[in-house]
């Protein structure tokens, strides 16, 4: 019975904990880095703060010392440690969690029709959004861009006004987090929290109460930690909201609203046939499900323009009946007959299907790990996510454009099964391959010593779709090449932004 | 003893009954099982799924029960399992599943009442994929089981029995490295399979080695989450099911046969399955 008790008591899931750290660099000149949506870090004005000798400010310090810090609860201390690991990081995690919670394809109703999620009634069945890979790539891209632009602006004003942190003003204040010489006004945590809240609420409109509670805690945490006073936080929240509103203005006009335009598919199928594909893609679901976001390829890209998108579109896939096509088909048949456990494990590891944070989420997680290990400043962490995030969204757009341009059939139209579940959209090129190589290209440029690791992950993610029997080899090799090119545009932008 | 959408319950003759092999007597069995469902409970919503159609799980189980003493038996079993969906494109899985070993002991009868205790464990013996449900052949968890049984002889040949069991189930290493449980995302491949209870009530007729029994069984997890709308089941699900069935055994000499049928009448996060099994039995003396 002792063994029973032991087993029963150890059912708490242990995740690798993330702890607050002192950044390797403060990135003092970050306020001059090039932004994505803002014209510059000074586009949004921030009020001049009161001096640290001002009576109103000193009252805030006094309240921190005599009221806030002496009465901290255990929960508040835990919140300080949680948010202290990194505001950018934590909101990125929250974004990934929401993506996983909303990544569920609608069920068919009794009439055999798949209802379209309704943003005005997000918690009804089917919930809005269906956070599939393109949706999640976009949500995380806007989240990351808003965080980055807001933090460039934050750095601008931090070093312009140079208002010190409470523990520098009053040495009797013992902060709960590692300290640095980073000026406190406006508060980094509050800027990131308010910007992230605004974007995530727009992307996941049914999550108002959940996000509001995270926002409130994130804004209080730096005060509880003794690293900010209320006026630092208020200025940060105001800045974060203003920047996020500008970023959302881009989101509202980027074409996502017509990404699910199903009326376009008839012309796409005709185009496919005209290109020489005798049997274009057709849904393998029962009842047949309309394809996922057929017009996502028309959404506005970040790091290159529309004519470039068409220029870099992968060439035609192997045509049914050709020797190359037959070789790819034979490879799949042979894997189906003799799939090894290692192949199954790779296919499952990267499946990132329904109920998961999708491949873009998986790559944001790799980025997060690398950023933490490199002890990036909040600003540089946001910069990393912005380039990885926009590259992933661009990869989604480029890949979806390709998929619906060729409208090519899945292996299941040739009798194959799948060990991971079949995505409901055309085959060529592989989304996993495009996403993964785009992200690995950006991450390799930011962390050159890890190039081999990231490229290894990308190749494995790409192979996983062959092992899972849902892509032909050519879908993956061409998707990977396309992803590399797309990632390189993000890198090109990054090298010129003033951060290096 | 197993709890999975469409899982075969390998219960023919077994660690849950009140029957013992005499000392040094062994009974080997080879049992074929066929479990199938078309409808399942997605959380509490009963539905079908045309992209699965009928999910069939076939199994062949090798089993042995041995009398260490007339009131202490050891039972071991190992199944080969194969799954298949009649529609859609999910690839069937197959392989050797989990080895289970049980010790079963009883007290002396007191006015027709006997108490029994069963202790057992199971452990996966092949590296099958646990997180491709409902096609996976098992949950991949190690389990420890403790069961108490009270049996009562109404007459010489009619018996009643009632049992309750607790199963502690281990973490499973999933192939994926992140999963959603409830509304929380866990960034790890370590998945806790919830512990479970089962309880049963049986009434039967037993004469020598021949037996006919009716039973009702209930299985539920101590915690866990529910299948999300239109999602696949997962290892963390709180599975519940109530089933009824019939078991019979005919063993004129060393060779015998048994058969079992069970039907899930109600459940949550499980398939509404029917299980049929037939076994070939062979009794022999050891030493």
Q: Which pLDDT belongs to residue A15?
A: 66
pTM of the model: 0.95
* A389 vs A143: CA distance, rounded Å: 9
Give the DSSP H/E element, type plus range, for residue B211: strand B210-221
Which are the contacts of B141, defined by CB distance < 8 A and separation ≥ 6?
B124, B130, B169, B170, B171, B172, B193, B235
- Give φ, ψ of A499 to 5 degrees: -85, -15
- Give φ, ψ of B164 to 5 degrees: -140, 140
Structure tokens of B7?
A: 């899982």
* A440 vs A455: CA distance, rounded Å: 6
Coil, strand or helix at A423: coil
B180 → closest Cβ in A16, A100, A365? A100
- Tell me the angle at which helices A358-373 and A451-467 cross, rounded to the nearest 10 degrees: 160
The long-range contacts involving B45-50, CB below 8 angstroms and separated by at least 24 positions, are B46/B272, B49/B88, B50/A286, B50/A287, B50/B87, B50/B88
Radius of gyration of chain B (CA): 19
**What DSSP designation does A35 have?**
P
- Contact yes or no for B229 and A101 at CB 8 A: no
The CA distances from residue A271 to A267, A314, A472, in Å, are: 6, 16, 21
Give the DSSP H/E element, type plus range, for residue A181: none
CB atoms within 10 A of CB A321: 8
Contacts of B89 in chain A (CB under 8 A): 284, 412, 416-418, 422
Q: Which pLDDT belongs to residue A372?
A: 96
Closest CA to B106 of B76, B69, B156, B160: B69
CB atoms within 10 A of CB B166: 16
Q: Which residue of B has its CA nearest to A124?
A: B229
B132 → closest Cβ in A96, A104, A419? A419
A419 → closest Cβ in B91, B183, B186? B91
CB atoms within 10 A of CB A15: 12
- Residues A294/A284, Cβ–Cβ less than 8 Å: no
- Contact yes or no for B230 and A13 at CB 8 A: no
What string of DSSP letters covers A345-359?
Answer: HHHHHTT--TTS-HH
Is the dihedral angle over the CA atoms A454, A455, A457, A461 positive or is it negative? positive
- Residues B157/B133, Cβ–Cβ less than 8 Å: no
Measure in Å the smallest separation between the Cα of A186 and chain B Cα atoms.
Answer: 31
Q: Is B64 exposed, middle or buried (0-12, 13-18, 19+ CB in 10 A)?
A: middle
- Give φ, ψ of A403 to 5 degrees: -55, -45
- Residues A122/A101, Cβ–Cβ less than 8 Å: no
* B276 vs B105: CA distance, rounded Å: 28
Residues forming a β-bridge with B73: B67, B104
B188 → closest Cβ in A13, A349, A421? A13
The CA distances from residue B182 to A85, A98, B43, B52, B154, in Å, are: 24, 12, 12, 24, 47
Structure tokens of A500?
A: 């290096």
- Residues B2/B139, Cβ–Cβ less than 8 Å: yes
CA dihedral A23, A25, A26, A27 (to 10 degrees): -130
Radius of gyration of chain A (CA): 24
* B136 vs B158: CA distance, rounded Å: 40
CB atoms within 10 A of CB A56: 9
Closest CA to B125 of B111, B110, B142, B113: B142
Q: Which pLDDT belongs to residue A10?
A: 58
- Give φ, ψ of A191 to 5 degrees: -60, -50
Q: Which pLDDT belongs to residue B15?
A: 65
The CA distances from residue B17 to A212, B161, B164, in Å, are: 55, 8, 12
- Contact yes or no for B228 and A3 at CB 8 A: no
Q: Which residue, chain included where needed, has tokens 């999640």?
A: A136
A422 → closest Cβ in B89, B127, B181? B89
Q: Which residue, chain included where needed, has tokens 């929290």?
A: A193
Write the pLDDT tens digit of every residue in B31-40.
999 999 999 9
- Contact yes or no for B231 and A127 at CB 8 A: no
- Contact yes or no for A13 and B175 at CB 8 A: no
Write the pLDDT tens digit of every residue in B237-249.
999 999 999 999 9
CA end-to-end span of chain B: 32
Which are the contacts of A328, defined by CB distance < 8 A and separation ≥ 6?
A318, A472, A473, A474
- Residues A350/A362, Cβ–Cβ less than 8 Å: yes
**What DSSP designation does A52 have?**
T
**Percent of chain B scored above 70 by pLDDT?**
94
**What DSSP designation does B94 have?**
E
CB interface of B with A, residues 6-45, below 8 Å: none
Contacts of A8 in chain B (CB under 8 A): 168, 195
* A38 vs A34: CA distance, rounded Å: 9
* B119 vs A124: CA distance, rounded Å: 47
Measure in Å the smallest separation between the Cα of A343 and chain B Cα atoms.
Answer: 11
Structure tokens of A206?
A: 């049914």
Q: Which pLDDT belongs to residue A16?
A: 63
* A240 vs A188: CA distance, rounded Å: 9
Closest CA to A188 of A330, A326, A91, A312: A91
**What DSSP designation does B86 have?**
S
What are the pLDDT tens digits along chain A (500 aa)? 344 444 444 577 766 678 999 999 999 999 999 999 999 999 999 999 999 999 999 999 999 999 999 999 999 999 999 999 999 999 999 999 999 999 999 999 999 999 999 999 999 999 999 999 999 999 999 999 999 999 999 999 999 999 999 999 999 999 999 999 999 999 999 999 999 999 999 999 999 999 999 999 999 999 999 999 999 999 999 999 999 999 999 999 999 999 999 999 999 999 999 999 999 999 999 999 999 999 999 999 999 999 999 999 999 999 999 999 999 999 999 999 999 999 999 999 999 999 999 999 999 999 999 999 999 999 999 999 999 999 999 999 999 999 999 999 999 999 999 999 999 999 999 999 999 999 999 999 999 999 999 999 999 999 999 999 999 999 999 999 999 999 999 999 999 999 98
- Provide the pLDDT confidence category of residue B253 given band limits of 50, 70 and 90: confident
- Residues A499/A30, Cβ–Cβ less than 8 Å: yes
- Contact yes or no for A7 and B170 at CB 8 A: yes
* A361 vs B176: CA distance, rounded Å: 13
- Residues A407/A269, Cβ–Cβ less than 8 Å: yes
Which are the contacts of B192, defined by CB distance < 8 A and separation ≥ 6?
A11, A13, B171, B172, B236
Q: Which pLDDT belongs to residue B14?
A: 63
* A141 vs A129: CA distance, rounded Å: 16
- Contact yes or no for B51 and A285 at CB 8 A: yes
* B284 vs A380: CA distance, rounded Å: 74
């Amino acid at each position: 019975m002792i063994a029973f008790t032991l087993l029963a008591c150890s059912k708490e899931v242990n995740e690798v904990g993330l702890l607050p750290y002192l950044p390797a660099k403060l990135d003092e000149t970050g306020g001059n880095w090039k932004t994505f949506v803002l014209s510059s870090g000074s586009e949004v004005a921030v009020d001049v703060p009161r001096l640290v000798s001002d009576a109103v400010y000193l009252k805030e310090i006094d309240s921190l010392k005599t009221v806030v810090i002496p009465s901290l609860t255990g929960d508040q201390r835990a919140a300080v440690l949680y948010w202290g690991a990194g505001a950018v990081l934590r909101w990125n995690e929250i974004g990934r969690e929401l993506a996983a919670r909303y990544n569920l394809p609608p069920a068919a109703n009794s009439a055999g029709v798949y209802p379209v999620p309704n943003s005005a009634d997000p918690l009804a069945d089917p919930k809005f959004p269906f956070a599939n890979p393109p949706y999640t790539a976009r949500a995380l891209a806007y989240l990351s861009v808003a965080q980055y632009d807001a933090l460039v602006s934050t750095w601008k004003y931090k070093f312009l006004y140079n208002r010190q942190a409470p523990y520098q003003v009053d040495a009797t204040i013992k902060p709960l987090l590692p300290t640095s010489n980073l000026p406190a006004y406006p508060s980094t945590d509050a800027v990131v929290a308010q910007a992230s809240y605004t974007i995530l609420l727009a992307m996941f409109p049914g999550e108002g109460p959940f996000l509001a509670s995270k926002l409130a805690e994130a804004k209080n945490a730096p005060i509880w930690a003794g690293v900010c006073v209320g006026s630092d936080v208020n200025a940060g929240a105001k800045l974060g909201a203003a920047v996020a509103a500008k970023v959302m203005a881009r989101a509202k006009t980027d074409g996502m609203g017509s990404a699910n335009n199903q009326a376009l598919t008839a012309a796409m199928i005709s185009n496919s046939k005209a290109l020489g594909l005798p049997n274009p893609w057709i849904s393998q679901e029962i009842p047949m499900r309309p394809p996922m976001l057929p017009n996502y390829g028309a959404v506005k890209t970040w790091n290159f323009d529309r004519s470039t998108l068409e220029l870099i579109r992968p060439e035609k896939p192997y045509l049914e009946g050709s020797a190359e096509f037959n070789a790819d088909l034979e490879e799949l048949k042979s894997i189906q007959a003799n799939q090894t456990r290692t192949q199954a494990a790779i296919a499952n590891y990267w499946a990132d299907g329904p109920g998961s944070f999708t491949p873009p989420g998986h790559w944001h997680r790799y980025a997060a790990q690398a950023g933490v290990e490199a002890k990036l400043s909040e600003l540089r962490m946001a910069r990393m996510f912005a380039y990885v995030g926009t590259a992933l969204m661009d990869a989604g757009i480029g890949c979806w454009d390709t998929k619906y341009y060729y409208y090519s059939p899945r292996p299941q139209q040739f009798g194959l099964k799948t060990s991971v579940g079949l995505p409901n959209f055309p085959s060529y090129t592989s989304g996993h391959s495009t996403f993964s190589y785009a992200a690995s290209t950006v991450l390799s440029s930011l962390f050159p010593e890890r190039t081999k690791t990231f490229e290894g992950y990308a190749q494995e993610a790409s192979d996983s779709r062959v092992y899972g029997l849902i892509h032909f080899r050519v879908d993956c090799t061409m998707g990977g090449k396309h992803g590399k090119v797309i990632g390189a545009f993000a890198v090109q932008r990054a090298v010129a932004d003033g951060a290096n | 003893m197993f709890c999975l959408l469409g899982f075969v319950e390998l219960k023919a003759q077994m660690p849950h009954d009140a029957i013992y092999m005499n000392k040094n007597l062994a009974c080997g069995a080879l049992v074929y099982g066929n479990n199938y469902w078309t409808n399942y409970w997605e959380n509490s919503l009963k539905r079908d799924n045309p992209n699965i159609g009928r999910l069939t799980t076939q199994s062949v189980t090798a089993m042995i029960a041995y009398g260490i003493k007339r009131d202490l038996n050891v039972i071991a079993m190992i199944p080969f399992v194969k799954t298949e969906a009649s529609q859609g494109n999910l690839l069937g899985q197959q392989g050797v599943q989990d080895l289970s070993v049980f010790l079963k002991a009883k007290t002396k009868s007191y006015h027709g009442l006997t108490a029994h205790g069963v202790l057992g464990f199971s452990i996966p013996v092949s590296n099958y994929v646990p997180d491709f449900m409902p096609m996976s052949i098992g949950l991949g968890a190690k389990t420890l089981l403790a069961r108490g049984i009270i049996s009562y002889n109404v007459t010489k040949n009619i018996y009643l029995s009632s049992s309750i069991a607790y199963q502690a189930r281990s973490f499973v290493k999933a192939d994926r490295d992140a999963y959603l449980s409830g509304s929380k995302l866990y960034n790890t491949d370590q998945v806790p399979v919830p512990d479970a209870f089962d309880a049963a009530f049986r009434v039967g007729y037993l004469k020598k080695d021949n037996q006919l029994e009716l039973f009702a069984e209930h299985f539920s997890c101590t915690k866990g989450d529910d299948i999300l709308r239109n999602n696949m089941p997962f290892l963390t699900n709180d599975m519940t099911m109530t089933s009824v069935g019939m078991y019979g055994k005919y063993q004129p000499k060393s060779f015998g046969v048994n058969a079992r049928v069970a039907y899930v009448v109600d459940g949550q996060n499980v398939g509404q399955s029917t299980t049929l099994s037939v076994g070939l039995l062979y009794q022999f003396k050891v030493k």
